[in-house]
């Protein structure tokens, strides 16, 4: 079976900027696929290429095995949830949702019935008569979703759909979107710069940087085995240990990446593997509620962050600023990364 989306050496330039630079990847049918990256990394351009708002300058883009060259947006079996929602301000919520059916000349009674069904699906029953301007941000987001789903697309494109919502609502919508995708069984292509969102929702994700894909894989692969220094740094937090310090600490050719939560105080270390040990001085202690974050200057010549869960009640009795401590971590937590040496 053909992939839902297939990029073959696709490039798209704007003037002299290579927004998408010779990118190849595929998205399987029914997959929740995220494109993660900082702004200007090419992820949104890739989404717009799929939607048909941009045409590739070079390469081929196939949707369900069909070459999209010259196919306008309105003839593609994909629909988009826009970052700013792009609801039609002069129409009611019901007419917004029914728009995709209206332009396909579905009779009014049928399209309104189906629009009502979609509003039920996104839990907005009874709000069809309102104007978009009379809705909250979260409600508008749901209308945008209902409107994009009414044509029953095989691929739904979502361009940072939760970007404008506050944290609580965003977390709730993440759960709902994932459940919706599972229920509908269609492909979701999700653009975000929020790594938590990408990790939490995706079956697979691609990390974009400067128009290229740095790494593509399941969330665990991306997080636990970042392929490049960029991925290690952009997805989650990471300590980058430079060549010289890596050599001194572990006898390995650097640079190395170690996640803050993988670093223990030597006294607490309980893994089976003999640990890598490093002595250092505490530079900073930040109490963050659920966790405490320590900044430690290692004698081997690197500054690392570590994060400990505050599992005990009462005041934490941890090391203080200026204390000399010993740290330990599983050698398996050290990842050799390519890319620049910033240690």
Partner 1 sequence: MRSKGIRAPWTLKLAALAGLAFLHVPMAAIILYAFTTETKSYQFPPPGLTLHWFAVAWERQDIWDALALSARVGTVATAIALVLGTLAAAAMQRSRFFGRETVTLLIILPIALPGIVTGIALRAAINLIDLPFSFWTIVIGHATFCVVVVYNNVLARLRRTSGSLIEASMDLGADGVQTFRYVVLPNIATALLAGGMLAFALSFDEVIVTTFTAGQQTTLPIWMLTELVRPRQRPVTNVVAVFVIAVTFVPILVAYYLTRGTETVSGSGK
> Looking at beta carbons only, is 110 or 340 nearer to partner 1?
110
Helix (H, G, I), strand (E, B) or coil at 9: strand
Cα–chain center distance at 202: 8
User: How far is 99 from 91, CA to CA, in rounded Å?
Assistant: 9
Cβ-Cβ contacts under 8 Å for 178 (sequence gap 6 or more):
32, 200, 201
Name residues contacting partner 1, limited to 43-72 (CB under 8 A). 51-53, 72
CB of 192 or CB of 238, closer to partner 1: 192
What's the closest the beta carbon of residue 11 comes to partner 1, in angstroms? 20
- Tell me how far, at minimum, the Cβ of 87 lies from partner 1, in Å: 8
Among positions 134-153, residues that touch partner 1 (CB under 8 A) are 147-148, 151
The CA distance from 215 to 228, in Å, is 8
CA distance 275 to 286: 25
Q: How far is the CB of 323 from partner 1 (least distance, A)?
A: 54
Distance CA 200, CA 220 (A): 10
Distance CA 82, CA 159 (A): 5
243, two tokens: 């060549």
> For partner 1, which is the closer residue by CB, 99 or 269?
99
> Is residue 17 a contact residue for partner 1 (CB under 8 A)?
no
How far apart are CB 247 and partner 1 at their closest, in Å? Answer: 52
Site residues for partner 1, 68-127, by CB under 8 A, read 72-74, 78-80, 82-84, 86-90, 99-100, 102-104
Residues 6+ apart with CB under 8 A from 90: none
Taking residues 150 to 189 in sequence order and writing x for each that binds partner 1 by CB under 8 A, - otherwise, the string is -x--------------------------------------
Least distance in Å: CB of 105 to partner 1? 10
Tell me which residue of 213, 305, 198 sits closest to 21, measured CA to CA.
213
**Residue ranges binding partner 1 (CB under 8 A):** 51-53, 72-74, 78-80, 82-84, 86-90, 99-100, 102-104, 147-148, 151
């Amino acid at each position: 079976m053909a992939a839902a989306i297939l990029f073959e050496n696709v490039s798209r330039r704007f003037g002299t900027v290579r927004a998408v630079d010779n990118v190849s990847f595929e998205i399987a049918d029914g997959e929740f696929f995220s494109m993660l990256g900082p702004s200007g990394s090419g992820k949104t351009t890739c989404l717009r290429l799929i939607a048909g708002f941009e045409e590739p300058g070079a390469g081929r883009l196939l949707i369900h095995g069909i070459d999209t060259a010259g196919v306008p947006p309105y003839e593609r079996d994909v629909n988009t949830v826009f970052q700013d929602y792009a609801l039609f301000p002069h129409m009611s919520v019901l007419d917004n949702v029914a728009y995709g059916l209206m332009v396909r000349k579905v009779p009014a009674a049928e399209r309104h019935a189906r629009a009502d069904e979609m509003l039920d699906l996104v839990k907005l029953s009874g709000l069809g008569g309102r104007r978009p301007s009379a809705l909250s941000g979260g409600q508008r987001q749901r209308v945008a979703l209902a409107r994009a789903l009414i044509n029953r697309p095989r691929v739904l494109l979502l361009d940072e759909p939760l970007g404008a919502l506050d944290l609580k609502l965003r977390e709730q919508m993440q759960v709902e979107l994932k459940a919706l995708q599972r229920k509908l069984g269609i492909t979701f292509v999700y653009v975000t710069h929020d790594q938590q969102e990408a990790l939490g929702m995706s079956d697979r994700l691609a990390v974009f940087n400067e128009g290229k894909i740095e790494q593509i894989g399941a969330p665990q692969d991306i997080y636990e085995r970042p392929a490049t220094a960029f991925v290690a740094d952009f997805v989650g937090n990471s300590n980058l240990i430079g060549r010289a310090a890596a050599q001194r600490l572990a006898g390995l050719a650097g640079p190395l990446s170690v996640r803050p939560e993988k670093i223990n105080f030597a006294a607490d270390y309980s893994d089976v593997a003999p640990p890598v040990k490093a002595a250092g001085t505490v530079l900073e202690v930040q109490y963050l509620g659920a966790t405490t974050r320590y900044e430690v200057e290692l004698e081997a010549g690197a500054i690392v962050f570590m994060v400990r869960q505050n599992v005990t009640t009462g005041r934490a009795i941890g090391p203080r600023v200026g204390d000399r401590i010993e740290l330990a971590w599983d050698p398996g937590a050290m990842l050799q990364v390519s890319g620049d040496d910033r240690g």
